[in-house]
Amino acid sequence: MSAIPRTVQPSATPAHAQGLGESDSVWFALIPLLKDPGNPMQMLLRMCQKYGGIIPIRLKDRRIIFMSEVDHFKHVLVTRADDYVKYFDGLRPVFGNSMITIDGALWQRIRRPQQAAFHPAKFEEYLPYLLKALRGKADRWQQLADSGETVEMVEETWTLAADMVCQALFDREMPFNPHFVFGCVKTYTDVQNHKAIRLQRVNGELIEVSEANAAKAMKTWGAMPDQVLGAPIIDNRQSTLLNMILEAEADPDFPDFDHQQVVDEMKQYLWAGTETTALTLAWCLYLLSQHPEVAEKIRDEARRVCGDGEPNWEQAQSLVYTRRVIQETMRIYPPIWSFIREAAVDDEIDGQKIYKGDTVVLCSYAVHHSPKYWSEPEKFNPDRFAPDRMKARAKYSYLPFAAGKRSCIGGALSQLENGLALAMLLRRFEPEFMGEVPALIGPTVTLTPKGGLPFRIRALD
């Protein structure tokens, strides 16, 4: 590895994260370079501190450039964005040719008719449907509180996010069992991330989870968009995201946007749009379980702003402390913890030659946890997102949704969804984490909890 060490002392290992998984992704390729693959996130942070912001690595026929400085993020994602194309390996079987897996002029054409659905001016229209989904989740949590059973929190937050997407963006009730679909999604990602037959305990017996299981799961997944399209319409709203993409399909001057494009775009919202929102909320509830004083501040704000009822649009925007908690969670546990690009041309960054075809890994996790940009970076402190402190923050040191023209289209809506969820659910319930502390991380494409996040739901008096 051609990098020159710097004399920087590594920070103490915090209570976040272990396990790169066993996929043949870029991150799997890094495993031989790590002395302690059981704690990869901290090893990656120490590598950044030891070797500097750019680490070139050659593994067989692959050249990887690992970057972790804000100037590098700006260069790749903003200044020279057209010279660094998205890395699509492994995503097309899930998302087809959606916005996630296309680039260039075609990506711009496909994104254009969808952009209006994510303008903040539209969010007030979504509020009643987001709250309706939350009422359904609160009813389920009351049943869980009564039964005392332990549940997987990522499943709980994923099913909530899926309900929100269907109602707010598609004007449809969920026509599928979200818990069953979550199981299919998890089966597929388990197999794809580990690339081998796995053993899973079901009803006390070990069974094989193989490529065949993944294929069955993907068949179920592939049928979801058409199920949603065929579901009864809730309120016949004209300007929904779904209608926007259906209008693009009907446009004779837009041949790129055929029915398969409609299906693929729906897939990205039903999977990627739910997973990142769900992971943030699940990690947030884990952090709040370790910091009950912060959870109480959220409850106090919800009662002060909303009283005993549901928030109107003005009140929803006034949940400022709750929003800071969401932002701090995404700093500690960024749902997309790295952005991968491929160099389309030769380039040079900070004296490091970048060659056409190089894989460039921009590690947002490293920037989010760097003492160069954050005071006490391993400390959970929502107040670091107070307006006065945000002004002093280095640009591009906080990238939960990437940056530049390829930044996440649904980032602002995701934060609204999670802020409402915290305010409304914590006012009635106290989720109790039942797992070992610290919770482990299994980073693949997203920053997932290794082994899950088991919780019990306790109803508040």
- Tell me 177's DSSP state: -
Token pair for residue 302?
A: 């919800």
Residues listed for the chain: 461
Task: Give the CA-trace dihedral at 187, 189, 190, 192, to 10 degrees.
Answer: 120
Give the C-alpha separation, 213 to 130, whole Å: 33
CATH of the domain at 168: 1.10.630.10
- Residue found by looking up tokens 């693959």 in the block: 37
pLDDT in tens, the chain (461 residues): 433 333 333 333 333 333 333 344 555 555 555 445 445 778 778 888 888 789 888 877 788 898 999 999 999 999 999 999 887 665 666 777 888 878 888 888 999 999 999 999 999 999 999 999 999 999 999 999 999 999 999 999 999 999 999 999 999 998 777 676 666 666 555 544 544 434 444 445 544 445 566 666 667 767 788 889 999 999 999 999 999 999 999 999 999 899 999 998 998 888 878 889 999 999 999 999 999 999 999 999 999 999 999 999 999 999 999 999 999 999 999 998 888 899 999 999 999 999 999 999 999 999 999 999 999 999 999 999 999 888 888 999 999 988 888 888 899 999 999 999 999 999 999 999 999 999 988 777 788 888 889 999 999 98
CA dist list (Å): 451 to 160, 254, 311, 344:
20, 45, 35, 38
pLDDT confidence of residue 148:
97
Token pair for residue 285?
A: 């509830």
pLDDT confidence of residue 329:
98
Question: Does residue 21 lie in a domain region?
Answer: no
Question: Does residue 208 lie in a domain region?
Answer: yes
Cα torsion angle, 159, 209, 23, 219, sign: negative
399 CB-contact burial (10 Å; exposed 0-12 / middle 13-18 / buried 19+)? buried
Residues of the domain holding 138: 26-459
Question: Does residue 133 lie in a domain region?
Answer: yes
pLDDT confidence of residue 184:
62
Helix (H) or strand (E) holding 443: strand 440-443
Give the C-alpha separation, 132 to 442, whole Å: 32
Peptide bond before 438: cis, by omega within 30 degrees of 0? yes
pLDDT confidence of residue 222:
73
Q: Beta strands 84-86 and 339-343: pairing type?
A: antiparallel
pLDDT confidence of residue 405:
84
**The model's pTM:** 0.87
Give the C-alpha separation, 243 to 379, whole Å: 44
Q: At what angle do helices 178-194 and 153-164 cross, to 10 degrees?
A: 120
Give the C-alpha separation, 48 to 401, whole Å: 21
- Tell me 296's DSSP state: H
Give CA 228 to chain center in angstroms.
23
Give the C-alpha separation, 452 to 137, whole Å: 19
The 3-state DSSP class for residue 305 equals: helix
Give the C-alpha separation, 422 to 162, whole Å: 16
What's the number of domains the chain is made of?
1
**For 48-93, what is the HEC assignment?**
HHHHCCEEEEEECCEEEEEECCHHHHHHHHHHCHHHEEECCCCCHH
Token pair for residue 268?
A: 């990205």
Question: Does residue 4 lie in a domain region?
Answer: no
pLDDT confidence of residue 349:
94
Question: Does residue 10 lie in a domain region?
Answer: no
pLDDT confidence of residue 39:
58
Token pair for residue 420?
A: 């409402």
Question: Does residue 5 lie in a domain region?
Answer: no
pLDDT confidence of residue 186:
62
